[in-house]
A and B are shown apart, each in its own frame.
Chain A
Amino acid sequence: MQFNSIGFLLFLTIVFLLYWFVFKERKARNLLIVISSAFFYASWNPYCLILIAITTLCSYYSALLLQRFDDNLSLKRTITATNIALNLLILCVFKYFNFFAESFSFLLNAVGFSADWVTLDILLPVGISFYTFQALSYTIDVFRRNIEPTNDLVAFSAYISFFPQLTAGPIERATNLLPQFLHQRHFDYPSAVDGMRQILWGLVKKMLIADNCAMAVDIAFRDYQTLDGSMLLLGAVLFAFQIYGDFSGYSDIAVGCSKLLGINLMQNFKTPYFSRDIAEFWRRWHISLTTWFRDYVYIPLGGSRCSKLKVIRNTFIIFLLSGLWHGANWTFVYWGLYHALLFLPLLLLNRNRRYTDMPGASRLLPSLKESIQMLVTFLLVVVGLIIFRAENMPQAIGYITRMFTEFDLSIPPHGRKAAIYVFIFVIIEWLQRDKEHALQLPHCGIFNHRPIRWSLYYIIFILVLLLGGTSVQFIYFQF
């Protein structure tokens, strides 16, 4: 059930009405969330419900065991480690088994041993990377005593399986999301309205931007050996906006749907393409994942408060893991490595937290310096995304090489319409860069009048309907 489908609209409407008008008691509402989330997830593959149930129960009971043996640190470590190992084992089997099997087989063949490793015909459960990490964060936070374990299984199940963010994040923390299920929710009109606007903006990103970029991107990457450099550059830039529109659009819809149900999710993107360096980019892109790795991998390894060698090691570990998290392919690993190499100099020179404010703060346009910084950072990100999108490294290298060596100023034959949409989109995102989403309009001037606002929403909705590209599955569902 895709977010941009009539089926989901009907589903959300029914859940919304039942949630606020029928199931008024907290526990009943949580139960509704669990049942509707199970229905939502089952629409992808009903058998995967078993996996999410295993993850939920393991994490739930592990946390209760941690509470029970609170004074036995050694046992607590064992319980936590077992829970982490079990969850990661499930993730590895379903996501990485074939990758590791084939890579191991390749390695053996390379050194002269004949190996015909068994690969499994396994369907990747949608969203497994997201809910597994969400479950892990709960167990680790209980171990660290950041949160009290809950004995409300229904609330906990709602936390793990909450349908708006189940299949593609944001990866929520138990400290933020779980308490919301443990307390009664009350309908908040401004929040619900803002949720509707955020859903609309998410649809703009997904259907108007991402789906319209998709075709030109497919052509560029399929025929890169015959296309000239300008088309390849455009293809790569459009892919940057395809993945941004797709993923952040999904996040916006997820956050918007949650607001309708009185739940607040974290912001997952903060206009990352306006970043002035790579460090700032990683503070604005897929925030839930980067902070997860920071808090649960980087900092426990020592973070930046250790020797320079260990800082380098830690940086490489989190970027490589981050790359690997995205998929079972060496291109993702190399993508992570690429970003590690870009990030490391900033970290070692203590320049990774230079830019924490909004670019072009209190100005209409960015300064020349900021413009150059943003452009350079964006191009660096685009090159990385070529590796991310390519099927293998030879294709990525071939694409990048040809993009530079065959570059000319000819008008690309494909993607011009998408490029116009992207240009307008960037302007709007820039003007609204300090807002959670671009449709958070100021309640002053012409926007103070409801007919004006409604006319704008109406026009946007009709444009999405008429100009939206052919529907393509959300990219991050495969992760």
Chain B
Amino acid sequence: MRRFITYTSLFGLIVLLTLMSGEHIVRSLPNPYKHKHQWMLNNASEVECLIMGSSHTYYGVIPTNFLPNTFSLANVSQNPKYDYLLLEKYIPMCHKLHSVVVPVSYVTFFDKSLEEGDEWFYAINYKLYMDIDEHPNWSRYNFELSNRPVYSGKLQTYFSGKPLPTCDSLGFGLDYALAAKDHALWEKNAYMTVDRHTADDGEMCSENETYLRRIAQLCCDNGIRLVLITPPTWSAYYKSLDKKQLDKTYELINEICHDYALPYFDYLKDPRFHEDDFYDCDHLSDIGAKKFTTILRNDLAER
């Protein structure tokens, strides 16, 4: 028995050291969260406009083409809770901040908590790289290794020399170039995407609405203009949306806008966006992002 325990422990230690080395390598790799946090620490005092939200704005609004001194704090699958936590953290550093843009899409109010869904591992990035202390130190959110496929994917990419997904210096996502679009499947997948975005019930509405209201209140308390937008989507997507969920979304948006006197821009079915403007049915391509950023900037200037 002693021999067994000794050898097993020794082997286990070797494996553990390997895993820890892998953890160290993965954490040292560049990633958008680390970049955004570092950038904010160094430049927050100069920021005048922040783009929040999920992949719809991460790939949809280009800071360099938007208002002066804009930075994107949007991240893939970021929900209102993390929008609020990031604003709560960074607003005190942003002395010149006057505008915050938050997207509210078909899925925003109905989306499950990040930690409960299949994309729970994104929550790791906030804890490890952006200092958002929502989870205990010994939870799964404190280790890249907790999500083995992503952990091993990053290591494989690193050892193969391929570039990792990244953003530009002002936080805009660079992965959705038109050249990389899957022209065969992009429209076919619309139904699956809508199905994924349509909730069985409105269980999460209250929580997500609460966070949006907190964002509104936070901006109001700091004299910051909060702008709500619904980014553009392709017809195959918006024609398949569940009417009940869509109506409820608009109802909640209107209530919040009314309560806090917020401007709202709805581009869900905007006819100015064509096939090449989309990377997939609900995300803009780099071409579309350029167009959308210009349109949004002009619309904001008129209001």
Could you tell me which A residues sit within 8 Å of B by CB distance?
6, 20, 187, 189, 192-193, 196, 454, 457-458, 461-462, 465-471
Q: Tell me the complex Cα distance, A193–B4, Å.
A: 8
CB distance from A443 to the nearest CB of B (A): 15
Asked if A458 and B15 sit within 8 Å, CB to CB, the answer is yes
18 additional contacts (CB under 8 A) given A20-B1, A462-B15, A465-B148: A6-B146, A187-B1, A189-B3, A192-B4, A193-B4, A454-B11, A458-B11, A458-B18, A461-B15, A465-B19, A466-B152, A466-B155, A466-B156, A467-B152, A468-B148, A469-B149, A470-B149, A471-B148
CB distance from A244 to the nearest CB of B (A): 22
A selection of 19 A-B contacts at a CB cut-off of 8 Å is: A187-B1, A189-B3, A189-B4, A193-B4, A196-B8, A454-B11, A457-B11, A458-B11, A458-B14, A458-B18, A461-B15, A462-B18, A465-B148, A465-B152, A466-B155, A466-B156, A467-B152, A470-B149, A471-B149
Asked if B11 and A189 sit within 8 Å, CB to CB, the answer is no
Asked if A189 and B152 sit within 8 Å, CB to CB, the answer is no
Q: Tell me the complex Cα distance, A418–B15, Å.
A: 25
- Chain A residues closer than 8 Å to B19, beta-carbon distance: 465
Q: Tell me the complex Cα distance, A265–B246, Å.
A: 55
Could you tell me the dominant secondary structure of chain A's interface residues?
helix
- Nearest-neighbor residue (CB-CB) of A458 within chain B: B14
- Chain B residues closer than 8 Å to A457, beta-carbon distance: 11
What 1/0 flags go to B1-43 for Cβ under 8 Å of A? 1011000100100110011000000000000000000000000
Q: Tell me the complex Cα distance, A20–B1, Å.
A: 9
- Chain A residues closer than 8 Å to B14, beta-carbon distance: 458
Q: Tell me the complex Cα distance, A163–B175, Å.
A: 45
What 1/0 flags go to B67-79 for Cβ under 8 Å of A? 0000000000000
Q: Tell me the complex Cα distance, A80–B14, Å.
A: 54
Most A CB contacts (10 A, CB to CB) among B4, B15, B146, B156 go to B4
- Chain A residues closer than 8 Å to B3, beta-carbon distance: 189
Q: Tell me the complex Cα distance, A187–B155, Å.
A: 39
Q: Tell me the complex Cα distance, A461–B11, Å.
A: 11
Q: Tell me the complex Cα distance, A468–B8, Å.
A: 23
- Nearest-neighbor residue (CB-CB) of A20 within chain B: B1
Q: Tell me the complex Cα distance, A467–B149, Å.
A: 8
- Nearest-neighbor residue (CB-CB) of B1 within chain A: A187
CB distance from A82 to the nearest CB of B (A): 42
Could you tell me which B residues sit within 8 Å of A by CB distance?
1, 3-4, 8, 11, 14-15, 18-19, 146, 148-149, 152, 155-156
CB distance from B269 to the nearest CB of A (A): 29
- Nearest-neighbor residue (CB-CB) of A463 within chain B: B152
Q: Tell me the complex Cα distance, A461–B3, Å.
A: 21
- Chain A residues closer than 8 Å to B148, beta-carbon distance: 465, 468, 471
Q: Tell me the complex Cα distance, A196–B155, Å.
A: 26
The 7 closest A-B pairs by CB, nearest first: A466-B152, A470-B149, A187-B1, A192-B4, A189-B4, A461-B15, A465-B152
Given contacts A466-B152, A468-B148, A468-B152, contact A189 B8 (CB under 8 A): no
Q: Tell me the complex Cα distance, A469–B150, Å.
A: 10
Q: Tell me the complex Cα distance, A431–B223, Å.
A: 73
Q: Tell me the complex Cα distance, A458–B149, Å.
A: 19
CB distance from B8 to the nearest CB of A (A): 7
- Chain B residues closer than 8 Å to A20, beta-carbon distance: 1
Q: Tell me the complex Cα distance, A189–B6, Å.
A: 12
CB distance from A257 to the nearest CB of B (A): 14
CB distance from B196 to the nearest CB of A (A): 14
Asked if B1 and A189 sit within 8 Å, CB to CB, the answer is yes
Q: Tell me the complex Cα distance, A266–B192, Å.
A: 43
- Nearest-neighbor residue (CB-CB) of A17 within chain B: B5
- Nearest-neighbor residue (CB-CB) of A5 within chain B: B148
- Chain A residues closer than 8 Å to B15, beta-carbon distance: 458, 461-462
- Chain B residues closer than 8 Å to A196, beta-carbon distance: 8
CB distance from B37 to the nearest CB of A (A): 27
Most B CB contacts (10 A, CB to CB) among A467, A470, A471 go to A470
Q: Tell me the complex Cα distance, A457–B8, Å.
A: 12
CB distance from A233 to the nearest CB of B (A): 21
Q: Tell me the complex Cα distance, A471–B18, Å.
A: 21
- Chain B residues closer than 8 Å to A469, beta-carbon distance: 149
Asked if A187 and B4 sit within 8 Å, CB to CB, the answer is yes
- Chain A residues closer than 8 Å to B149, beta-carbon distance: 468-471
Most B CB contacts (10 A, CB to CB) among A187, A189, A466, A470 go to A466
Q: Tell me the complex Cα distance, A196–B15, Å.
A: 14
- Chain A residues closer than 8 Å to B18, beta-carbon distance: 458, 462
- Chain B residues closer than 8 Å to A467, beta-carbon distance: 152
Q: Tell me the complex Cα distance, A193–B1, Å.
A: 11
- Chain B residues closer than 8 Å to A193, beta-carbon distance: 4
CB distance from B83 to the nearest CB of A (A): 28
CB distance from B12 to the nearest CB of A (A): 9
